[in-house]
Structure 1
Amino acid sequence: MTAVQQENGSVRSRSLEVPHHAQGVRAARRQLTRELTGSIAASLLCDVVTVVAELLSNAIRHARPLPGGVIRLSWRLRRTAGDARVLEVRVTDGGAATGPRMRPAGPRSIDGRGLGIVAAMARCWGTDRDASGHSVWAEFSLA
């Protein structure tokens, strides 16, 4: 697991690379919990960790890894122009044939609920594609 941390005034950010397999999800959850405990409410931290686990699991299941067989997780605490505090989490992978999309999942479906969970727990979410890969991000309001 490779990690980078930056602080710049009202912005605190962290980035780490984890293996493109289930052990990477576990390592990321632990690190995220260690880093954010005390910085955000415990109830919100549970939501954030759930969303990150979902995004990482989706990347493992549906996308290629970045070079080196990893997925990048980053997060940043920042203030908006209106002085609200926001936490953004971002998972970057090597991309897939199709982009992430919410799918309908019936009561008997065994999968297909992941992005619905993300949408329900986060203030907003979206995707970006650039030269380094494909990212799915989610934002949380810190009251």
Structure 2
Amino acid sequence: MTLYIDADACPVKDEAIRVGERHRTEIIFVCDGGLRRPNSQWAKLVIVEQGADAADDWIAERIGPGDVCVTGDIPLADRCIKAGGLAIDHRGQVWTPDNIGSALAMRDLMTDLRSASPIDGPRGGAKPFSLKDRSSFLDGLERVMRQAAR
């Protein structure tokens, strides 16, 4: 089992390390630069070429059955699931074959609506990351790691 972290904008790196260490599994942080190597014997940092989906491509090419990916990127989560891996976002949402399709469709719809909007200026965006989100992530990752170990 390997725990992959789509690390560029991940707010739960420390939490992922704690859970990964508890499960004694390799943790791979993948980014296009700007991060220091995590302080854990179980963790390593992979820096990929800069590019829109370089980190996503690196993870998707390597993940397989029994592996877990932490990502807020829904298309990457879909690729991980199709490769037999498990995926969870930083708020504890576990992506499955049953819910990833509707999440992709909603993401595409919202992208289309934003690009078609005639109104300029500030827009919504994601809600702030809270302590409750952090707790939900820890609980969700623990469950996913146990599932992957089976």
Give TM-score, length-normalised by structure 1: 0.26
Which one has a larger percent helix, Structure 1 or Structure 2? 2
Which one has a larger percent strand, Structure 1 or Structure 2? 1
Structure showing greater Rg: 2
Give TM-score, length-normalised by structure 2: 0.25
